[in-house]
Amino acid sequence: MLNPRLVPLLLFSPCFFSVLFVSSIRLPSLGEKKPTVGSVFGASKVKFDPTRVIQLSWNPRAFLYKNFLSEKECDHLKTLAKDKLEKSMVADNVSGKSIQSEVRTSSGMFLKKAQDEVVADVENRIATWTFFPIENGESIQILHYQHGEKYEPHFDFFHDKANQLHGGHRVATVLMYLSNVEKGGETVFPYADGKLSQPKDDSWSECAHKGYAVKPRKGDALLFFSLHLNATTDGNSLHGSCPVIEGEKWSATKWIHVADFEKPIHQEVDNGECTDENENCAAWSKVGECEKNPSYMVGYEGVKGKCRKSCNVCSS
């Protein structure tokens, strides 16, 4: 059986994408506990509906889910955040610490995981859609953009090693729009392949004309990937939030990592032992998983992979 941790990267190749559309069942990760109240196996009040998903781009991989959230869910998430908003921060590329920057001028706050029934249900639905375990995600961040506020184009993967110690790189982002915006506030991908072919009229902001853009529509959710299928960083995933021109913008962001975000990844010293940590390693190696999923199979940046023996990368 294919390792569930490898499923997300495989499914989003063109030949596997149809599998995602016909399934709302998520495979548990290795060592996952039995489902409890609020787990991804619980019933969702808003059902997963694959017919609402639209492929936007393959470079970067981006998909739009129409009406992912109900109007009541959008309003509830905004209500949870309104009295707790603070100036948004960015991660410093050198130290990894959160700092203030004019690059990002919104305000925001983080909800607690499974903070209430609505939040838990949204997190379950994200896991069902993306095939990533809930534990791989950060807490949902609620963001508020007022007139003129923006987030300059940036990457969601990390440039520093400090942040990668918690769950590894951010592999995917789910951006949920909690309000309509009269003008501006689009999510723009400056390097996307489809930026030249996307039709735009005067209803789009000047910023949105600089790349492939997505208008914020209340209830819609945008899923895009920051890593390629081979787990290397995707330079085409550069994206930004255009300045709000008329109205205000509310959104909710779920960043998803390649591993459990709550468990720090320890830098390991290779002691020369050549072992596999999963009984399926040999079978996975034979079908090319060492090359397709090197982060899990081989390892990266001092972190040992789970199938080094079968991938023939152990120290001699």
What are the domain boundaries of the chain?
A: 7-257, 268-316
Whether pLDDT at 144 is above 80? yes
- For residues 183 and 243, give the distance between their C-alpha atoms in angstroms, rounded to a whole number: 9
pLDDT band at 161 (very low <50, low <70, confident <90, very high): low
CATH of domain 7-257: 2.60.120.620
pLDDT attached to residue 101: 57
pLDDT attached to residue 74: 98
CA neighbours closer than 13 Å in the CB half-sphere of residue 11:
21
| pLDDT, tens digit (0-9, with 9 covering 90-100), for 258-291 | 888 887 665 444 455 678 888 889 999 999 988 8
pLDDT attached to residue 96: 47
CA neighbours closer than 13 Å in the CB half-sphere of residue 175:
26
pLDDT attached to residue 48: 84
- For residues 113 and 173, give the distance between their C-alpha atoms in angstroms, rounded to a whole number: 16
pLDDT band at 200 (very low <50, low <70, confident <90, very high): very high
- Average pLDDT taken over every residue of the chain: 81
pLDDT attached to residue 15: 35
pLDDT band at 35 (very low <50, low <70, confident <90, very high): very low
Q: Which residue has the higher pLDDT, 165 or 177?
A: 177
| pLDDT, tens digit (0-9, with 9 covering 90-100), for 67-82 | 999 999 999 999 999 9
pTM above 0.75, yes or no: no
Question: Of 148, 184, 179, 157, which Cα lies nearest the Cα of 74?
Answer: 179
